[in-house]
Amino acid sequence: MSAGVLHGRALARRFEANPATREPIWMKRLILTIALAFFVLFLFLPLVAVFSEALRKGWLVYLAALVEPDALASIRLTVLVAVIAVPLNLVFGVIAAWAIAKFDFRGKRLLTTLIDLPFSVSPVVVGLIFLLLFGAQGWFGTWLFEHDIKIVFAVPGIVLATVFVTFPFVARELIPLMEAQGRDEEEAATVLGASGFQTFRRVTLPSIQWGLLYGVILCNARAMGEFGAVSVVSGHIRGATNTMPLHVEILYNEYNFAAAFAVASLLAMLALVTLALKTFIEWRAGRVVTVDD
């Protein structure tokens, strides 16, 4: 009779039907009104504002802002950065989750905390770190200059900064999931003679696929949308080292609001797709669990 198996509407119905957990109707209305007003004010209106501002001067201006060469270059760069950073962190996330969830060792908690570390570092500080390492006055600056390799104020720097800020997404999604699933199934597969890789592919992967996808989607959203860290290492060279968020900034600072919001609306759509997929995955994953019950 625990509430654990119930979710969403069914759970709320239970609370609303139970005399012991039901609030007086005026109190329920008050709480709902305040909560939803907060939601509209801080989440819904900003989202609507993006699209409304983007279309303020009509569809032609909107489309023109998107097909303009610098805008297209920023889109290409954003996709390129994500295509490099997301797979890197995906592979790392799976490897780290296997080591942490399937084995016991000293310092496991510390390692888990260190993996989460990039989340607590200010994006600006992240950018600064890579300047200190690879900038003209940085540790490797002279060596890089002599060999004519550009990292900061170039694409590699942007990729590095993005990899840093998106580092934990996949791992932190998988670790609790794989810990909860335990080791029994993998051990059974091993006893049956499966190799390590076969065990992973045939036993572990099918049961973590939704969590994996979840992590990848969030990782991708952050990779495409990162602003602070990338801003520091990019150098803001139009058409060359501007990602979409940086392009938005430049347009905005030039008072070209319609174009800024047009590019921003693409990123907002990416956010909406991300949230839709996330909701879908949560629903799917929830359904898998109930079927298993």
Partner 1 sequence: MSIQVENISKSFGAFAALQGVSLDFPTGELVALLGPSGCGKTTLLRVIAGLETADAGRVILDGEDASDTHVRERQVGFVFQHYALFRHLTVFENVAFGLRVRPRRNRPSADEISRRVHRLLDLVQLDPLADRFPPQLSGGQRQRIALVRALAVEPRVLLLDEPFGALDAQVRKELRRWLRRLHDELHVTSIFVTHDQEEALEVADRVVLMNRGRVEQVGTPAQIYEHPATPFVYGFLGAVNCFRGRVEGTHVRVGEARLPHDGQVDGQVDGQVDIEGAAVVGFARPHDLAVVTDLAAANGVDAIVSRVHAFGASVRVELDSLEGAADRGEPAHYEVVMPRERAVSLIDGQRVRLVPAHLRVFADQAA
Partner 2 sequence: MTAASVATLTPTPLLPRIARRVLPGFGLTLGLTLVYLSLVVLIPLSAVFIKAGSLPWGELWNIVSAPRVVASYQLTFGASLLAAAINTVFGFMLAWSLVRYNFPGKRLVDALVDLPFALPTAVAGIALAALYSGNGWIGSLLAPLGLKVAFTPLGVLVALVFIGVPFVVRTVQPVLEELEIELEEAAASLGAQRGQVFRRVLLPLLLPALMTGFALAFARAVGEYGSVIFIAGNIPMVSEITPLIIITKLEQYDFQGATAVAGVMLIFSFAMLLVINLLQAWSAKRTGRGR
Q: Which residues bind partner 1 (CB under 8 A)?
A: 1, 17-20
E-only strand ranges, 177-268:
none
Please report, to the nearest 10 degrees, the dihedral formed by the alpha carbons of residues 106, 109, 115, 121 taken in order: -130
269, HSE (Cβ side, Cα atoms, 13 Å): 9
DSSP code for 135: S
Q: How far is the CB of 8 from partner 1 (least distance, A)?
A: 16
**Pattern 47-66, partner 2, x by CB under 8 A:** x-xx--x-------------
Closest CA to 227 of 273, 166, 278: 166
CB of 11 to partner 1, least distance (A): 15
- Near partner 2 by CB under 8 A: residue from 122, 143, 145, 288: 122
Distances (CA, A) of 139 to 129, 131, 193, 224: 11, 9, 50, 28
* Residue 173 to residue 116: CA distance in whole angstroms: 11
Distance CA(290)–CA(293), nearest Å, equals 5
Work out whether 248 is an interface residue with partner 2 (CB under 8 A).
yes
Chosen from partner 1, partner 2, none, partner binding at 187 (C-beta under 5 to 8 Å by type): partner 2
Applying CB under 8 A, which of residues 63, 83, 125, 237 lies at the interface with partner 2?
Answer: 125
Cα–Cα distance measured from residue 161 to residue 210, given in angstroms and rounded to the nearest whole number: 27
Q: Are 152 and 135 in contact (CB under 8 A)?
A: yes
Applying the rule CB under 8 A, the residues between 138 and 197 that interact with partner 2 are: 138-139, 160, 163-164, 167, 179, 183, 186-187, 190, 195-196
Q: Is 34 in the site for partner 2 (CB under 8 A)?
A: yes
Which entry of partner 1, partner 2, none binds 186, CB below 5 to 8 A by partner kind? partner 2
Q: Are 84 and 156 in contact (CB under 8 A)?
A: no
Cβ at position 28, least distance to partner 1 in Å: 16
What minimum distance in Å lies between the beta carbon of 287 and partner 1? 20
Among 159, 218, 259, 262, binds partner 2 (CB under 8 A): 218
Site for partner 2 contains 237 (CB under 8 A): no
Question: How many whole angstroms separate alpha carbon 108 and alpha carbon 175?
Answer: 11
Among 232, 241, 259, 262, binds partner 2 (CB under 8 A): 232
What span, in angstroms and rounded, lies between the C-alpha atoms of 192 and 218? 36
Of partner 1, partner 2, none, which one does residue 236 interact with (CB within 5 to 8 Å by kind)? none
**Does residue 290 belong to the site contacting partner 2 (CB under 8 A)?**
no
CB nearer to partner 1: pick between 19 and 193? 19
State the distance between the two ends of the chain, measured CA to CA, in whole angstroms: 14
Specify the residue, 19 or 107, whose C-beta has the smaller distance to partner 1: 19
Picking from 162, 159, 173, the residue whose alpha carbon sits closest to that of residue 93 is 173
Closest CB to partner 1 among residues 24, 107: 24
Of 150 and 183, the one with the shorter C-beta distance to partner 2 is: 183
The residue within the footprint of partner 2, chosen from 80, 128, 154, 240 (CB under 8 A), is 128
Asked if residue 41 binds partner 2 (CB under 8 A), the reply is: yes
Give Cβ neighbours of residue 187 (< 8 Å, ≥ 6 apart): none
Cα dist. 267→164, 207, 214, 270, 281 in Å?
21, 31, 19, 5, 21
